[in-house]
């Protein structure tokens, strides 16, 4: 399954393949909760999943959004109706960087048939496709999913490995340029970046309409950063969420592949700061 799906293709899939589960993961740094938007309007049949409480472990030294406990993730996915052999499509309110967390997590969990809605909920609405405020009933018993989480199927970096990759390969920082340079830091206790990391903001993956650039455009962007096929590459961001979209973008671009994906520093800058590691500033 291609990691991106258009609104029209999703609408067709929902009518042809009822085993397709749609996850609404709208979220904002600093709130308000995305569930409020979901309760007003969402893709029919979509299930809301909360990034903070259902797709992450509690915050701590591991970062602001540590990877969830595999058993907890399995419970969440089964409650949403995800089944072995089915498909999952995730969408958010913006550029796909939060939905990419779902894409990455399911791949990490050993579930391959997962995609991000290109352009998110805004693209779905712009296409004139139906929306609803009706919340699906909770799934229990035989109606629930049966997916089995087999964690560890995507490469994950710790702080030492991220530091080594920044020296010996390519480590991409997905945050905004001002945060990367250390000019501002609205969330974490230190400003700056991991020494040797290169800046590749998630906003560079998409156009003004929130739709992802074509593979060749993404490949040219990464080539301009010195990333090419065969290079050891990884990504991080503030808490490991939006960096998932860099992993996705590298695969869409053909720089990496499903068989050899980029690595994710899951703890990201929040973990780096908690460990009091060396900080670089400037461009």
Per DSSP bridges, beta strands 114-117 and 87-91 are parallel
Question: Do residues 26 and 121 lie in contact, with contact meaning Cβ atoms separated by under 8 Å?
Answer: yes
Question: Do residues 197 and 173 lie in contact, with contact meaning Cβ atoms separated by under 8 Å?
Answer: yes
Question: Do residues 147 and 74 lie in contact, with contact meaning Cβ atoms separated by under 8 Å?
Answer: yes
Distance of CA 242 to the CA centre of its chain: 5
Catalytic site residue from 237, 247, 262, 274: 237
The conformation of residue 59, written as its DSSP 8-state character, comes to P
Secondary structure of 179-248 in HEC code, one letter for each residue? HHHCCCCCCCCCCCECCCCEECCHHHHECCCCCECCHHHHHHHHHHCCCCCCCCEEEECCCCCCHHHHHH
Question: Do residues 247 and 283 lie in contact, with contact meaning Cβ atoms separated by under 8 Å?
Answer: no
Query: Is residue 237 flagged as an active site residue?
Result: yes
Residue-by-residue DSSP string for 254-273:
TSS-SSSPPEEESSHHHHHH
Alpha-carbon dihedral sign for residues 155, 156, 158, 163: positive
Burial of 76 (0-12, 13-18, 19+ CB in 10 A): buried
Structural tokens at position 170:
């390519």
Q: Which residues are catalytic?
A: 237
């Amino acid at each position: 399954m291609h990691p991106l799906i258009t609104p029209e293709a999703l609408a067709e899939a929902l009518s042809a393949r009822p085993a397709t589960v749609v996850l609404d993961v709208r979220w904002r740094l600093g709130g308000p909760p995305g569930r409020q938007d979901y309760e007003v309007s969402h893709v029919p049949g979509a299930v809301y999943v909360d990034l903070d409480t259902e797709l992450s472990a509690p915050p701590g030294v591991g970062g602001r959004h540590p990877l969830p406990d595999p058993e907890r993730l399995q419970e969440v996915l089964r409650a949403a109706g995800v089944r072995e052999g089915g498909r999952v499509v995730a969408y958010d309110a913006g550029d796909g960087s939060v939905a990419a967390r779902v894409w990455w997590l399911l791949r990490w969990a050993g579930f391959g048939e997962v995609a991000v809605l290109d352009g998110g909920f805004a693209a779905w609405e712009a296409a004139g496709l139906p929306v609803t405020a009706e919340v699906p009933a909770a799934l229990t018993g035989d109606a629930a999913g049966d997916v089995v989480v087999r964690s560890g199927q995507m490469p994950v970096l710790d702080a030492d490995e991220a530091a080594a990759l920044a020296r010996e390969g390519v480590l991409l920082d997905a945050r905004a340029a001002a945060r990367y340079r250390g000019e501002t830091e609205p969330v974490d206790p230190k400003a700056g970046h991991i020494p040797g990391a290169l800046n590749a903001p998630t906003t560079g993956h998409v156009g003004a309409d929130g739709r992802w650039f074509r593979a060749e455009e993404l490949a040219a962007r990464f080539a301009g950063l010195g990333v090419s096929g065969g290079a050891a590459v990884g990504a991080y961001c503030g808490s490991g969420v939006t960096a998932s979209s860099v992993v996705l973008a590298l695969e869409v671009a053909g720089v990496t592949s499903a068989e050899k994906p980029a690595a994710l520093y899951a703890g990201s800058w929040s973990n780096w700061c908690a460990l009091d590691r060396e900080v670089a500033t400037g461009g």
